[in-house]
Structure 1
Amino acid sequence: MVMKDLETVAGRYLDLIGRADEHGAVDLVLGLIDEGVPAEDVLLRIVARGQLRVGELWASNEWPVAREHAATAVSERVVAAVSGHVRPAATRGLVAVACADGEYHALPTRIMAEVLRLRGWRIDFLGASVPGPHLITHLHQTGPDVVALGCTMPTRLARAHATIAACQAAGTPVLAGGAGFGADGRYACLLGADAWAPTADAAADRLAAGLPSFPAADDGPGAAAVHLGGEEYVYLTRHRAELLSRVVDRLGEHSAEDLGHMADFLIAATYVHDTALFTDFVTWACQVPAARKVPAESVVLGLRVFHDVLTDCPDARVMLNEGLAVAQTCCASQRTETRV
């Protein structure tokens, strides 16, 4: 089946999962495999792309969150069906695949696990939000050749860093993957991962070639990570609840959940000392409320109050100022679009 045909089928798949039609989606996917379409292509070009579109539809307010959750649940069942339908011989070593502690977006990591399995690796898929100590216990019990660690949200980078360091201390290299490590893998390198891959098939290619390493400093893997964190990160982490309560008290009409996301991205950006991580979030935060008819001015107000509250965090205040400039630009753009 040519790529154009797969794109047409991908539209049918999206329609099925959008209606929570599990049986229809499973039948469609397994039918493709029985017709000769490689299972890897089905996972990456149908299921993964379908989920990417699901996220876009949620962000644009075309799908409510309940529909997005239902579609994701169907895709999880589809991936499980593919796993049971196609059983290649295990000709390579053992990979422990896990989501970083606190990371609950497990489907991308599960798809990576299945692609690796299709390429001949033995897989231990440990699921979402695996606490570091439990993962290390598993490594000692099973002795995998490598850990494939998934992280979709950059707010989980500090925990991912602790897991990477612990795995390496146990003698197991780490292949990092997922949007949380940055579009170019910059945070995977910064956190000291042995390698990074942007997609599931790229991860399989990296492992097939032998696990490469990022350039290491003289004092070993993860040396670049010694400057991560700092006093402001520790302060923000320890006092998050108190600070958030003060901000919410001043902005009672705002969503505490939205303000919590703002705080978490600020904390993550403080951990890796990267303002772009925070301003990228602000850009997204302005776009999503706009799709829901909520003005970007709400983001501006939240940023200003955080800035006023964090009097003892000069670096965080600089990030907030940068975020404020981005949000104000978004506001101006929204006003222009409204006039047009």
Structure 2
Amino acid sequence: MRVVAAMSGGVDSAVAASRMLEAGHEVVGVHLALSQSAATLRESARGCCTIEDAGDARRVADKLGIPFYVWDMAERFKADVVEDFVAEYEAGRTPNPCLRCNEKIKFAALLDKALALGFDAVATGHYAQIVEGPNGRELHRAVDMAKDQSYVLGVLDADQLAHSFFPLGDTTKPQIREEAASKGFYVANKPDSHDICFIADGDTQGYLAKRLGKQPGDIVDSDGEVVGRHEGAYGFTVGQRRGLGLKVPREDHAKRYVVDVQPKTNTVVVGTADLLGVDVIEAEHARWPGPPPTGEVRLGAQLRAHGEEFPAWVSADGERVTVRLDERTRGVAPGQSVVLYEGTRVVGSATITATSRAPR
């Protein structure tokens, strides 16, 4: 097969490209230029897709003897990931830009371009597994649960999955580094990227303040009493405890958390931890890498990357999903994604729109 290997410049994508080549595929390395001013992005371990990362990817491609290209997707990334990120926070929601990047860039824009150019598939360094099941290809968790990235791949649909390869899913991260070192890859010991790649200093609240400006408003307790002020409700998320700057303490000195963000009134609502617990989740924009569930089915629900999986009853109606957790959990915010599992298999994902508490 003719395969585009998405090469970020890290050790994982380097080994993924190498494995696809060893499997007998015709491989072309592609690095995605996602910033209109890459030199302003963070360097070294803290991000991805910087100028130095492009150089690292090119060195690996040269070592493998495969063609290498840089594809400029900065405009698409800005519109579909960066602007979406800002708009979601402004609307009082908490987005995951990595899921949006996978959905809109790596497995939409990149895959679409690859297929248009006559390639058969895209391979990435994500930690997940593809298994041939009774209904076709299935997306499963990686062997290395500490690195499992099936959550951020839950946005793939069946057609995208049919044109994808994840060669690292059966291997642990230490083994990947050993393999990279044995092949003489310069990036064998390169630290992993983390945080949000387009926020140079990791300060999400500061980044949003620069984009959206100061929007002073009230922080109120659950009974409506004003207990503080803020510079923009967009800078808060459900479950947050630090950085609230409350001026009026509770008589019982109980810790308070953000329990609601109300963008229409520019109000942040805080309360005690017991108010955070929810067990009913409404979501939309469902994505199914295989057949969608019919009726009410028993599945596991994961609410954040590398988070706990919760047993739940799930029902789907088109692009809408209702998840009823067995037990209440805290810190679930609109805008986050719920990814559904049957064992290790990813059933689908959806974006959370509302949460509530079922009567006990």
* Greater relative contact order structure (CA < 8 Å, 6+ sep): 2
Q: TM-score, normalised by structure 1?
A: 0.27
Q: 1 or 2, which has the higher strand percentage?
A: 2
Q: TM-score, normalised by structure 2?
A: 0.26
Q: 1 or 2, which has the higher helix percentage?
A: 1
